[in-house]
Amino acid sequence: MRLVIFTEPQQGASHDDLLRVAKAAEDGGFDGFFRSDHYLRMGDGDGLPGPSDAWITLAALAVQTSRIRLGTLVSSATFRLPGPLAIAVAQVDAMSGGRIELGLGGGWFEAEHQAYGIPFPAVGERFDRLEEQLEIITGLWKTPAGSTFDFDGKHYQVSDSPALPKPAQSPLPVIVGGHGKKRTPDLAARFAAEFNAPFSKIEDLPAQFERVRAASAAIGRAEPPAFSAAAVLCVGRDDAEVRRRAAAIGREVEEMRENGGVVGTPAEVIETIQRYAGAGASRLFTQVLDLSDIDHVELVSSEVLPHL
């Protein structure tokens, strides 16, 4: 099992905050540092200093780190046009020396679209746009150098594109995730290197992973995508420290545990992570909500990672 630190900067974080956590994750042996792609805080609070752009953040971290993998969980197809997104991700991948992963989803948080003037179509159209973006982005990257790429879709048209630049990785990993029972597994089977089931109860994971396996088999894909999950992280040396960390993020220990959270003492969370592995996940995105608590990351590095 590989662990990734997953952050939610829209809740309130400067770039210095993110860099500090990313460096702690890299120094501590985590597999990756990922961030959400949102423009509005969820819940109470002011979210200061305000939202940051995911791909600008990752471009900076690409040259401020050296080993750790970097990416989004997930970018929204409503935020960017597919061609410019393909260019940006390929450029950041080159800047990182081939350490970038693109998580791409349809978008769901209507309020952030309203707050920043971003069109928010109905759910069916959002999935249609996501599908076309995945086709275009992966198609641009796969087009041989010297050839051109064309695409004639309902929402996007591409004509005589030189399909440049190319990512450093070939192929650059694409992550598709969600809880949908039909279109999401189908898109993962067609386009994804990894399928992520976010914030699910552990006992629900095998069924969702099986849907992706079935969708992969239906199109003749020999090996399905890798499987991963995402869960809130709240680890303490003892119960008192666990509850202190839970209070700091406005959550209840029991509620987090009931919903698949990686919560408890190091021994308890090792057991929880092993349950994720038993359900079929090979990577776990651990959501860190208090970015000022570097000791939290270091505790997992020293007391949990060596046992995985």
Q: Which of 26, 38, 101, 296 is catalytic?
A: 38
How many angstroms separate the CA atoms of 75 and 101, rounded? 11
Q: Among residues 280, 181, 274, which one has the least CA distance to residue 229?
A: 280
Which residues fall within 8 angstroms of residue 242, CB to CB, at 6 or more apart? Answer: 234, 235, 236, 253, 263, 264, 265
- Phi, psi (rounded to 5 degrees) for 272: -65, -45
255 counts as catalytic: no
User: Residues for the chain: how many in total?
Assistant: 308
Separation of alpha carbons 179 and 260, rounded Å: 15
Name the percent of the chain in helix, strand, coil, to the closest 5.
Answer: 45, 20, 35
Active site residue 110: yes
**Mutual orientation of helices 294-303 and 266-279 as an angle, nearest 10°?**
70
Exactly one of 8, 15, 110, 113 is catalytic; which is it?
110
Cβ-in-10-Å burial (0-12, 13-18, 19+) of 199 comes to middle
Q: Distance between CA atoms of 208 and 127, rounded to whole angstroms?
A: 18
Residues known to be catalytic: 38, 110
